[in-house]
Chain A
Amino acid sequence: AQSVTQLGSHVSVSEGALVLLRCNYSSSVPPYLFWYVQYPNQGLQLLLKYTTGATLVKGINGFEAEFKKSETSFHLTKPSAHMSDAAEYFCAVPNSGGYQKVTFGTGTKLQVIP
């Protein structure tokens, strides 16, 4: 079964600093990968997705992620953190076999310090 591991349940950055949220996947073949964001008391919003093609994927709100097969990683970055980025971020991978229930990582809570 596909799985993802998010390192760091909490990450704190200063406003304007680089955001780096880590995600590693477990798969023998390159999977599809997603990053979702969950704001307090809200559902999950898709930030970006990797399917095929370009390994550097740009998403909404200035976020991007790079698929690195050699490292089995799909880390999420943003050059300059904004206060509004404070939220919980989930890396996710669809079930193998094509028919997707999605497996989520355990989430990383991003705190942005003014």
Chain B
Amino acid sequence: GEEVAQTPKHLVRGEGQKAKLYCAPIKGHSYVFWYQQVLKNEFKFLISFQNENVFDETGMPKERFSAKCLPNSPCSLEIQATKLEDSAVYFCASSHGAEGNQPQHFGDGTRLSIL
């Protein structure tokens, strides 16, 4: 598609439950990025993929967060045993290349609310 598609738009989970978010990158884009926006104006990089391979996972909390990008499937971000602090908007972005001059194209985000 021509846009990064994120589902669901909103996700509500009780503390301790699992949450799974999905992202379909723009067709032809090889790189996928996940960001977490906790406060209204703070973006935290989580992880990036080149096709199905993890490219950079320096921002991922090691214990409860995992992500995959499998061929012919949307990419996913999964949070096990969610905590209140995981409440945030999670954005997925994709780009054609990884060079610094290649802008990232963002989806509309998934708002995760942990109760």
Contacts and interface: CB of A to CB of B under 8 A. Distances in A.
A22 B91 CA distance: 24
A102 B45 contact: yes
Contact of B105 (A32, A46, A104): A46
B107 A31 contact: no
Contact of B91 (A44, A88, A95): A44
B87 interface: no
A12 interface: no
B92 to A, nearest CB: 9
Interface of A: 9, 31-32, 34, 36, 41-46, 49, 51-52, 88, 90, 94-96, 98-104, 106-107, 109
Interface of B: 4, 6, 33, 40-43, 45, 48, 55-56, 58-59, 91, 93, 95, 98-109
13 contacts: A9-B41, A32-B100, A32-B101, A43-B109, A44-B91, A44-B106, A46-B103, A51-B101, A90-B41, A90-B43, A94-B101, A95-B100, A99-B99
